[in-house]
Amino acid sequence: MTEKDPTAEVNYGPLAALIGTWQGDKGLDLSPEPDGTEENPYYETIEFQAGGDLENAEKQTLAIVPYTQIVRRKSNDEVFHHEVGYWLYDAEADLVMHSLAIPRAVCVLAGGSHKGEASGENGLVLDVSAKLGDPDWGILQSPFMRENAKTVAFSHAITIKGDHMSYRETTYLEIYGKSFDHVDSNELTRQKA
């Protein structure tokens, strides 16, 4: 892997629309409880950075957009989700990828597509997914999580229209002896590029 100068000309493709600091306070987290579903209204900040590009095996060039997401409950202002990761774009394959890690000992590598333009009427849509056991777009988790709160699939769709973003992220879990769709959604506004 060879990293290049992040100030050099980089083809971020659809990921250019992500770059900046975003804030939103319309978040809703639907999470599992032993006796049902817990609803957590939240607000968050996501910072996407222009990370430059890099080469893999001298054959693949990836534009990289590292990010940090901090999510706080409206009820008590405490952080309940801290996520770090990368959005990546392979221009030659026209492929969008999302790698992420959360401090519950779970990592995801999701892949997918993009359509539209952030300046267009319908906006830009980034749509990625992963599945446990998939040889390309997979999920890795600790033994404890696999035994007690197994992530079996993941999907994330982001729509960007100018300086407005909305997303819906679903983590498909096997927890408390049942299957559960853990859903997070929010609307955000770009504060600065």
Mean pLDDT across the chain, nearest whole number? Answer: 95
| Chain centroid to CA 180 | 19
User: Is the confidence at residue 44, as pLDDT, over 70?
Assistant: yes
pLDDT one-digit tens code per residue, 4-23: 554 468 999 999 999 999 99
Beta-strand pair 60-73/53-56: antiparallel
Average pLDDT score over residue span 167-172: 98
Of all residues in the chain, what percent are helix, strand and coil, respectively (each to 5)?
Answer: 5, 65, 25
| Chain centroid to CA 53 | 19
User: Is the confidence at residue 188, as pLDDT, over 60?
Assistant: yes
AA identity, residue 59: K
Q: In the structure, what pLDDT confidence band is assigned to residue 88 with cuts at 50, 70 and 90? A: very high
Q: How many beta carbons lie within 10 A of that of residue 187, not counting itself?
A: 14
- For the chain, domains (ranges, CATH) are 2-192 (2.40.128.20)
Residue 14 DSSP symbol: G
pLDDT reported for residue 32: 94
pLDDT reported for residue 85: 98
> Rounded distance, CA 61 to CA 11, Å?
10
> Rounded distance, CA 138 to CA 132, Å?
5
Contact between 31 and 69 under an 8 Å Cβ cutoff? The reply is no
pLDDT reported for residue 77: 96
Q: Which two tokens stand for residue 1?
A: 């892997």
∠ CA 11-15-17, rounded to 5°: 110
pLDDT reported for residue 8: 60
pLDDT reported for residue 124: 97
pLDDT one-digit tens code per residue, 111-149: 999 999 998 889 999 999 999 999 999 999 999 999 999
Percent of the chain with pLDDT over 90: 93
Average pLDDT score over residue span 94-102: 97
pLDDT reported for residue 180: 97
Question: pTM above 0.85?
Answer: yes
| Chain centroid to CA 146 | 21
pLDDT reported for residue 120: 87
> Rounded distance, CA 162 to CA 189, Å?
9
Q: In the structure, what pLDDT confidence band is assigned to residue 3 with cuts at 50, 70 and 90? A: low
pLDDT reported for residue 192: 74
∠ CA 72-65-51, rounded to 5°: 120
> Rounded distance, CA 125 to CA 65, Å?
16
Contact between 9 and 52 under an 8 Å Cβ cutoff? The reply is no
> Rounded distance, CA 55 to CA 53, Å?
7
